[in-house]
Structure 1
Amino acid sequence: MLSPLASPLRLADVGARCTSAGSYQIRSRFENANRRLSVGLAGWGREGEDESVVGGVERAAPGAGCRRDARMKKADERFFQKYFPPQEFAARRQRLLDEVGPAADVLLRGRSETCGPRFLQSKVFFYFSGIEIPGALLLISGPERKTTLYLAHRDPERHPEETGLGVEDAEEIKAATGVDEVCDRALLTERLRTVRTLYVQDAEDELPCRTRFEAAAVAQRRAADPWDGRPSDTQHFISLLKSRHSHIEIRGLTPIVSEMRRVKSAREIEMLRRAGYLAALATTEAMRMTKPGLLERQLAAVASYIYLTHGAAGEGYPQIVAAGRNMQFGHYSRNDARLIEGDIVLMDSAPDYGYYTSDIGRIWPVNGTYAPWQRELYGFITAYHKTLLGLLKPGAMAEDVVQEAAQIMAGVVRKTRFSKAIYRQAAERVLQSKHPLSHPVGLSVHDGSPYRHKPLEPGVVLSVDPMLSVPEEELYIRCEDTVLITADGIENFTAAAPLEPEAIEAAMKEAGRFPLYDTALAWDAGRRP
């Protein structure tokens, strides 16, 4: 297997060429250097580049009439994504128009300016545009079959690096993104007076580290709070549209978008493949670093370091590092408990890689060796997991795969001498669960792209996550991988992380790469860690 921090899988140079008209044209090509992973974006495609290309932006020929200064070139690089060519977003918009019909329009609202360290766009807006400019609105016209991006003006008192591009940059934005027009946001109200049927996003907004399902739950709690009561951003946006344009029939876009996202494109698959490998890389390194006395969050920090140094924006969802009794809480993310000799630890962590993520789960012993009861339970759930993986194939219904796997594992349960009756009962219960084939994975870890209602087909990406619960002992045993349905079976995106007990124990004997200290003991001893 490739050494974890080895040389990269190269996303090739995705640059911007300044033309004589002063506009930018995106060049995009993907190169796979034997699937080696070094996805740090700062160095994409630098080896053997043409000398006329500097920093991903090709130098203009003398007299080319380039209107923009060096400061604005840097702003362009920040606000134009580098993962997909504009043609892919244009194709998605055209397919969307085919779904809504020639008499309807679609209005998508991007994320507003935030005060965080980096602006990250809402997932649906990114899916159809790739545009990472705050405060953007996208009108996709069915009658005209064209796309108009509405932007605010740049703040003359602030640097573009702080605010993003504005309507002043229309020509550059059109060339780089493939939209047909870029207009002042102030013109949108007048344009909507001609619209009769308008599709909008009616599900809660997906953001980094937040699925639409989590956002909906938060919005419901906030609305029910007698000391808050605010509507969600999505509800507020729809209310504004209704109050300002009562003549428009507003329809929900969610079912159409969910179906479009169900089958991933080739480039989406490559993003998910890289996210899955990074998740496996981080999980394996966390295994190596584990020892009694550390805090859960120190293992999370190992994963974060690997994500950030390999081109990811951070975590794709709140990391779960749950040791001991904390494992019983399905989405525990406090990560502040200490690892204790004799306990086991569950880790579930994946990156945000170009807005795409993955999902993985492994359980390992804090001291590096499974106790007999730990091996018994985790060994059973990994056997069930591998049985499910072996049955996945195109054309199969998820429900049928689960039934067949349960029948196979029922025979294993009958032949196994469990050390406790409650362990046998837990094994029998897990085979009654209808969802060991879990959620779809894509732009969100619980992606809004359901797959169970149709036969599996190439391009579907889902998590396989059987879970065994022993409530009498506060145990929650699971293992998880993210897999792609292919033409002849599956590709396991997270397979690089050890799965079975023996392989995990062997990995834990390897030296870790980072110095992790028992900080509490160090401070108590009156010295710096």
Structure 2
Amino acid sequence: MHRGFQRRFEWSELADRRRRLAETLQGGIAILQGAGPVATFDRFRQTNELLYLAGVQTPQAYLVLDSDGRSVLYLPHQPTELPVEDRDLLAQDAELIQTVTGLDEVRPLSALPDDLRSKRLIWTPFAPPETAMTSRDVLLHAERMASLEPFGPSSSRHRQFLTALAAACPLAEVRNLTPTLDAMRLIKSPAELRVLHEAGQLSAEAVRQAMLLSRPGMNEAEMEAVAFSVFRKGGAQGEGYKTIAPGGSNIWDGHYSANNQTVPAGEWVLMDCAPDLDGYTSDIGRMWPVDGQYNSWQRELYGFVVDFHEATLARIRPGVLAQQVLDEVRQEMAPLHERTRWSEQAFEEATRELLTFRGTFSHPVGMAVHDVGNYWNQPLEPGMVFTIDPMIWVRDRRLYVRVEDTVAVTEAGIDVLTEGPPRSPGAVEEFLAARG
């Protein structure tokens, strides 16, 4: 199959997504802008929205969907003598594209403005589109920073599109499609869950391999290299986000990714990584000592965080709110916290904060690592995927401790998609002892 087509799902699943979206359009149309041409020596990566609905990996694609479910893909039309297998998909490949994807029509990109001009109701995502190694929160932060440019704010391709769309369709009311798409993407299908499980297992294997490689005097970059190798060998296009692999004092920066320092004996490392596997990713976090044995304060803090993590995993189930789960975990863990003889007052205070830390139930995971959708204000249900990530900060000592897994809610409870690398201090030490 041509490289420009998705390869993970039955095309009927994408057609069903388009059908469900069409039912929400209230007689209007939806238009989604795909990713533009790559301006670097990097692989093209389609926007998550267009990949989710159309499944084509080709630049400058636009998808238009009407309320009857009719779908039209707009692509550039460029004279070329290259066979289709040696280039990106173009408008002249309409027969091939319609046959493979089930889309109703393929038209040249130049026809799009005139086709839209008479429309009265147009839906389009207002949120910036995600592509490779990014999430909406990162994109919104970049937009805020762009607004601080001293010679005037720079405008993204997406913002330029929204402005041009309103100007080109003066008769139309333009509404925000983002909430509808977010709600759809929050609940993963069985086919999506299979891809997410595969991505989770690649994350888990990357951490396992990094644990086996680790030793005093290694460079953080070695762990990053292991992760990238595991991902590519496993069929991923690359990383879902920049691998986080700090050692020692660098751990304090929770999203450190320079990964260029030596890790001396007596220190530990944090590993947080995931692939971009055909548009889906994962998230995992583990901490371990490079010389194989936790010291007393590492065991004290990490051990409590792991216990909290395990208690949370054991209580997640469909039909309850995330806050209810956290309340139950707090009731279980508070007596353990009180019984523990903490070696420092700062440790007691930091771990007590974890008892009420709402962020243990962390972000959704899917096509982006910080995926779209909000599960907090509704009962958990099968198909929701998110991370469990309890963490503590000992601020006076600049110590940051966490353990993270990606889980999918099922009818029976959860599936830990990143299961594999040991979590508890004893299990980690036993695993590291096998390094030889």
TM-score where L is the length of structure 1: 0.80
From 459, 470, 477, give the equivalent of 2:401. 477
Q: Secondary structure at the match of 1:99?
A: coil
Q: Give CA-to-partner distance per residue, 1:358-382, whole Å, 9 cap, x none.
A: 1100000011111111111100000
Residue 441 of structure 1 corresponds to which residue in structure 2?
Answer: 365
How far apart in 2 are the matches of 1:463 and 1:311? 23
| Residue 406 in structure 1 maps to residue 330 in structure 2 | yes
Deviation, structure 1 residue 510: 2.8
From 83, 100, 109, give the equivalent of 2:25. 100
How far apart in 2 are the matches of 1:304 and 1:510? 23
Change (3 A) 1:473 1:159: farther
Q: Secondary structure at the match of 1:247?
A: coil
From 283, 290, 293, give the equivalent of 1:359. 283
Q: Return the letter of the residue paired with 2:218.
A: L
Q: How many residues align?
A: 435
Deviation, structure 1 residue 128: 0.8
Residue 63 of structure 2 corresponds to which residue in structure 1?
Answer: 138
How far apart in 1 are the matches of 2:83 and 2:244? 38
Q: Give CA-to-partner distance per residue, 1:489-522, whole Å, 9 cap, x none.
A: 111011111111111112222349xxxxxxxxxx
Q: Return the letter of the residue paired with 1:199.
A: W
Deviation, structure 1 residue 78: 1.0
Residue 5 of structure 2 corresponds to which residue in structure 1?
Answer: 80
Q: Return the letter of the residue paired with 1:116.
A: F
* Equivalent runs, 1:444-523 vs 2, <5 Å: 444-511=368-435
Change (3 A) 1:472 1:135: same
How far apart in 1 are the matches of 2:83 and 2:401? 51
From 30, 49, 65, give the equivalent of 1:124. 49
Q: Secondary structure at the match of 1:117?
A: coil
From 198, 203, 212, give the equivalent of 1:288. 212
Change (3 A) 1:318 1:183: same
Deviation, structure 1 residue 217: 0.5
How far apart in 2 are the matches of 1:347 and 1:157? 48
Q: Give CA-to-partner distance per residue, 1:215-252, whole Å, 9 cap, x none.
A: 11101101221146212222111001112221111111
Residue 71 of structure 2 corresponds to which residue in structure 1?
Answer: 147
Q: Return the letter of the residue paired with 1:233.
A: R
| Percent identity between the two aligned chains | 37
Q: Give CA-to-partner distance per residue, 1:49-69, whole Å, 9 cap, x none.
A: xxxxxxxxxxxxxxxxxxxxx
How far apart in 2 are the matches of 1:87 and 1:464? 32
Q: Return the letter of the residue paired with 1:366.
A: V
How far apart in 1 are the matches of 2:83 and 2:331? 63
Q: Give CA-to-partner distance per residue, 1:441-480, whole Å, 9 cap, x none.
A: 1001110021111100111111000001101111110000
Name the larger-Rg structure: 1
Deviation, structure 1 residue 155: 4.4
Deviation, structure 1 residue 161: 5.7
Residue 385 of structure 1 corresponds to which residue in structure 2?
Answer: 309
Deviation, structure 1 residue 163: 4.3
Q: Give CA-to-partner distance per residue, 1:305-354, whole Å, 9 cap, x none.
A: 00001101111111110111111112111111111111111110011111
**In the alignment, is the contact (CA less than 8 A) between 2:118 and 2:171 conserved in 1?**
no
From 224, 228, 231, give the equivalent of 1:304. 228
**In the alignment, is the contact (CA less than 8 A) between 2:117 and 2:170 conserved in 1?**
no
Deviation, structure 1 residue 404: 1.3
How far apart in 1 are the matches of 2:137 and 2:156? 13
Unaligned stretches of 5+ residues in structure 1: 1-75, 513-529
How far apart in 2 are the matches of 1:333 and 1:450? 27
* Equivalent runs, 1:112-261 vs 2, <5 Å: 112-114=36-38, 115-142=40-67, 144-156=68-80, 160=84, 163-227=87-151, 229-261=153-185
Q: Secondary structure at the match of 1:345?
A: strand
Unaligned stretches of 5+ residues in structure 2: none
Residue 71 of structure 1 corresponds to which residue in structure 2?
Answer: none
From 340, 344, 350, give the equivalent of 2:264. 340
Q: Return the letter of the residue paired with 1:354.
A: D
Deviation, structure 1 residue 79: 0.9
How far apart in 2 are the matches of 1:125 and 1:232? 18
Q: Return the letter of the residue paired with 1:293.
A: G
How far apart in 2 are the matches of 1:85 and 1:96? 18
**In the alignment, is the contact (CA less than 8 A) between 2:48 and 2:131 conserved in 1?**
yes
**In the alignment, is the contact (CA less than 8 A) between 1:208 and 1:316 conserved in 2?**
yes
Change (3 A) 1:417 1:490: same
Runs of 4+, deviation exceeding 4 Å:
157-163
Deviation, structure 1 residue 159: 6.6
Residue 322 of structure 1 corresponds to which residue in structure 2?
Answer: 246
**In the alignment, is the contact (CA less than 8 A) between 1:441 and 1:463 conserved in 2?**
yes
- Residues 121-130 or 228-237, more deviating: 228-237
How far apart in 2 are the matches of 1:178 and 1:402? 45
How far apart in 2 are the matches of 1:163 and 1:197? 35
* Equivalent runs, 1:17-36 vs 2, <5 Å: none
Residue 16 of structure 2 corresponds to which residue in structure 1?
Answer: 91
- CA-based RMSD: 1.4
TM-score where L is the length of structure 2: 0.97
Q: Between the two structures, name the one with larger relative contact order (CA 8 Å, sep ≥ 6).
A: 2
How far apart in 2 are the matches of 1:159 and 1:474? 58
Deviation, structure 1 residue 99: 1.7
How far apart in 1 are the matches of 2:294 and 2:312? 24
How far apart in 2 are the matches of 1:275 and 1:449? 20
**In the alignment, is the contact (CA less than 8 A) between 1:322 and 1:346 conserved in 2?**
yes
Deviation, structure 1 residue 151: 0.8
